[in-house]
Chains A and B, each alone.
Chain A
Amino acid sequence: MEKVEATINVPSSSLKKRKKVPQSVSYPVVTLAIILFVWELCGRFNLIDPFMFSWPSKIFVEAQDFFATGEVFKHLAVSGMEVGFGFAMALIGIPIGLMMGYWKKLELAFDPFVTALYTTPMIALTPLFVLWFGLETLSKVMMVFALSIFPILINTMAGVKMTEVSLIKAARSYGASERQMFKEVIFPSAIPFIITGIRLAIGRALIAVVVAEMLAGNIGIGYAIRHASELFQTAEYLAYVVVLMVLSVLLTELLKMFEKKLAPWRDR
């Protein structure tokens, strides 16, 4: 009787204490395995035209190849540097967002333009940026900057405005100056929002760098993808896409770890 109840009410993970892998890892891993397996089968049974698409083992072999020759690292280094510089510049969105969230007048003056720029598909400006900043690194850095600053800025601003009124009151009651208000209340309160902004910005930064490299230049992941596709090396082309995918997952996970460090009060 008791046993029946337990199996109904208690999630299975807590029953089996020996299981250590959390469900948030095990479930997607199984999903991925199934997808890869079915995909691979389709390839093996000639359901996929290698000219149009590819399948896991073929992509894997291709990837092994360019890892071995070091080809991929050359492109990764360049793209990484471009994203790094552009992203570092985009972090200026944090102080701007803090100020715009705090001073109503700044918000009134600039918010419509920020929103307009945020919602514009600025990727369309890539050719213009190439014209302005050249075929080399600079145009990519500027594209990364232009695409990633706005999510950071807008989320920071939202974070400031979401600060609990009772906390602001408490700080004022205990004599906080404007500077202390920022440091002790507003900035920490906005941190989770800032991190969300950065997460969104990572995705946009990768898009920016890849598209800009595809359009102009002769090095970088975007260039490598274009090059492979022009030569109809579909497997190689997809291998580069996988590298990009892994990269963005890694960056996002890194950010999550960073968030735990930066906002330890949020782990509940």
Chain B
Amino acid sequence: MMETVVKTKTPILQFDSLNVIYNEGEPNQVHALKNVSGEIHEGEFISIIGPSGCGKSTLLHTLDGLLKATSGTIFVNGSPVHGPDGDRAMVFQDFALMPWQTVYQNVAFGLRLAGKKESEIRDKVMHYIKMVGLDGFEQKYPHQLSGGMKQRVGIARGFAVEPKVLLMDEPFSAIDEQTREIMQEEVLKIMLNEKKTVVFITHSIDEAVFLSSRIFLMSVRPGQIVEEVKIDIPYPRTLETKSLPEYQEYKQVIWDHLKGEVRRQYRKGEA
């Protein structure tokens, strides 16, 4: 009894004073993340917003375990992260699809690496290919697809391994408006139905407010989380959500912050 209480309180993802410095000690050293801390709980939808080059991708890669932080710690369900594992799956900003694999093989990638049975792979792969609207394209190679379609393959590949936490790096940036709305609804549905946790990078304030339970706002480099905005609008959210007065207020708050950061970046550039 005691134990379950304690467990529910443990954040699914907790990171403490993360610092990431690229090329440390060399002339081209870049301090990408500075003392970034945060807690993410199961079922949360977290968006990260910040100016370009502020370290959003760096943070996501570090949370995945792909990138080793220069200092700081990451815990998943209370145990330290030493590298990538099956609890978290990445959707990459540049898609990172294998050019020599078909859509089907790309989506099956994680399952195949995990040594899953062929029949299980087929079921899941076909399910998620359908979800992203790519049925009929299973045998195509990435170079035969548009940017938006490639991005959807990347999303399906992430979903297919059914991780506890989905790390998505600007997953909808290349997708057209209509498909994006469908994808947003799908992601929300999966998050609610399967109690998934999502960490999501976006440039769209509207998208962030619509999807998120909380938004992390980042500063210009060295990237820090300077503000957390809790979006107190209950799920499930629909198109009507967007006409609520508080929805517009949230957008304004975030926009004001972002404007300030972008101005700071310009001033830095001029100095």
Contact = CB atoms under 8 A, between A and B. Distances in A.
B64 interface: yes
A169 B98 contact: no
Interface string B80-110: 0001111001101010111111000000011
Contacts, number: 61
B84 A172 contact: yes
Contacts of A265: 99-101, 141-143
Give chain A's interface secondary structure class.
helix
A174 B110 contact: yes
B244 interface: no
Nearest to B112: A184
B190 interface: no
- A interface residue count range (under 10 / 10 to 19 / 20 to 34 / 35 or more): 20 to 34
B92 A188 contact: no
A188 B161 CA distance: 23
B113 A174 contact: yes
A175 interface: yes
A45 B142 CA distance: 59
Contacts of A169: 61, 66, 92, 96
Contact of A166 (B83, B96, B112): B96
Contacts of A166: 92, 94, 96
Nearest to A191: B100
B100 to A, nearest CB: 4
B114 A173 contact: no
A170 interface: yes
Given A265-B141, A265-B143, A175 B96 contact: no
Contacts of A173: 64-66, 84, 89-90
A153 to B, nearest CB: 22
A188 B113 contact: no
A175 B112 CA distance: 10
- B interface residue count range (under 10 / 10 to 19 / 20 to 34 / 35 or more): 20 to 34
Contact of B100 (A174, A175, A263): A263
A22 interface: no
A180 interface: yes
Contact of B113 (A167, A180, A189, A268): A180
B55 to A, nearest CB: 17
A174 B98 contact: no
Contacts of A268: 143
Contacts of B113: 171, 174-177, 180, 184
A264 interface: yes
B99 A184 contact: no
Interface in A118-153: none
B96 A167 contact: yes
A175 B98 contact: no
A-B residue pairs, 4 tightest by C-beta: A170-B96, A174-B110, A188-B100, A166-B96
Given A170-B98, A174-B113, A265-B142, 12 more contacts: A166-B94, A167-B96, A173-B65, A173-B66, A173-B89, A174-B90, A174-B109, A174-B161, A175-B86, A175-B110, A175-B113, A188-B100
